[in-house]
Amino acid sequence: MDSNRGIFFSNEDREHFLKLLERYSSITLLSHIYPDADAIGTSLGVYHLLKNMGYRVEIANATPTLPIHLNFLDGFYKIKKRIEYKDSLIISCDCGSLDRLGFDLNGRDIINIDHHISNTEFGVLNIIRAEAVSSSEVAYNFFKPIFEIPYSSAEAFYTALISDTRYFTTSNTNKYSFEMAQELIDIGIDVGAISQAMLRRSLASLRILGRVLESLELHLDAKIATMQITREDFEVTGAKYSDIDGIVEYAKSLVTVDIAILLVERLNSYKVSLRSNRVNLLPIAKYFGGGGHILSAGFEVDSKDYEDKEELKDKILEFIKKEGVITNNATQI
């Protein structure tokens, strides 16, 4: 990733934002369904800074159960399951497409803050920087010249930053990630305490991890690793969707592996996560109707379009073989 550029915004972008804000008496912060810590952290961070400026703000997410290890964040229990404000300005955080917000937003003005390269630009104002390591990096850099960043926002933005960079270990981590961390530390956040809180996990997440690791298979000279989670795995372990966040990284960590694939069986669909250290995954995700980032992408397909998940797995592997996604170059270190 290009590490020579910070995240930059023009004055017009910020003026446009402030103009939109003037037209509304209330604001609703949203993030994508089945949120990760970037989605929750970025939306909570923006929520706190707008509240701090005296705006009337609410925060909501359409997912029934949120990742409980984020409960240390100020405002976590204020996140509603539905939108209560009737005519509020919507601010979407970390969400690549409108359907992933999970609410009917017909006729609403949306400000779209994100870092997914595949973002469909569904906002009246789109504040999108694909080079940002987290949506919180986009939000933080956008707001810091115009609003004070209160402690609770700093904590939420930092949580989002360490989550999307996997504690500053992803290949897109750069000097700006650390600069942002330093500025947030200057606001007074306790990085040790945040990391310790973030590293907590539920018993169900450990139980399901054991089962997922059992499912590991290697393909194409061990360059591809697949893992799966069945509905039975969820039932037996009591795990929620939020308990499997990051599990795909275990498959990616194998020395031979260029692409890690996790297939998750849901009620009427299969959700697939793709991870790599060096292969562009977007062509695969897009072929199956999804999107994401270059090295971290995914998609969801109707289960009725496939005999079973084995057929879906074969189709993905077939596509990878046919399109030559894995080249000899790609495996050189």
Q: Which residues bind Mn ion (CB under 5 A)?
A: 38, 94, 135, 164
Closest approach of Mn ion to the CB of residue 15, in Å:
26
Residue closer to Mn ion, measured from CB, 150 or 292: 292
Residue closer to Mn ion, measured from CB, 194 or 326: 194
Residue closer to Mn ion, measured from CB, 129 or 211: 129
SS3 labels along the chain: CCCCCCCCCCHHHHHHHHHHHHCCCEEEEEECCCCCHHHHHHHHHHHHHHHHCCCEEEEECCCCCCCHHHCCCCCHHHCECCCCCCCCEEEEECCCCHHHHCCCCCCCCEEEEECCCCCCCCCCEEEECCCCCCHHHHHHHHHCCCCCCCHHHHHHHHHHHHHHCCCCCCCCCCHHHHHHHHHHHHHCCCHHHHHHHHCCCCHHHHHHHHHHHHCCEEECCCCEEEEEECHHHHHHHCCCHHHHCCCHHHHHCCCCCCEEEEEEECCCEEEEEEECCCCCCHHHHHHCCCEECCCEEEEEEEHHHCCCHHHHHHHHHHHHHHHCCCCCHHHCC
Closest approach of Mn ion to the CB of residue 115, in Å:
6
Closest approach of Mn ion to the CB of residue 333, in Å:
27
Closest approach of Mn ion to the CB of residue 165, in Å:
10
Residue closer to Mn ion, measured from CB, 157 or 234: 157
Residue closer to Mn ion, measured from CB, 88 or 172: 172
Position of minimal CB gap to Mn ion = 38
Closest approach of Mn ion to the CB of residue 324, in Å:
29
Residue closer to Mn ion, measured from CB, 38 or 155: 38
Closest approach of Mn ion to the CB of residue 149, in Å:
19
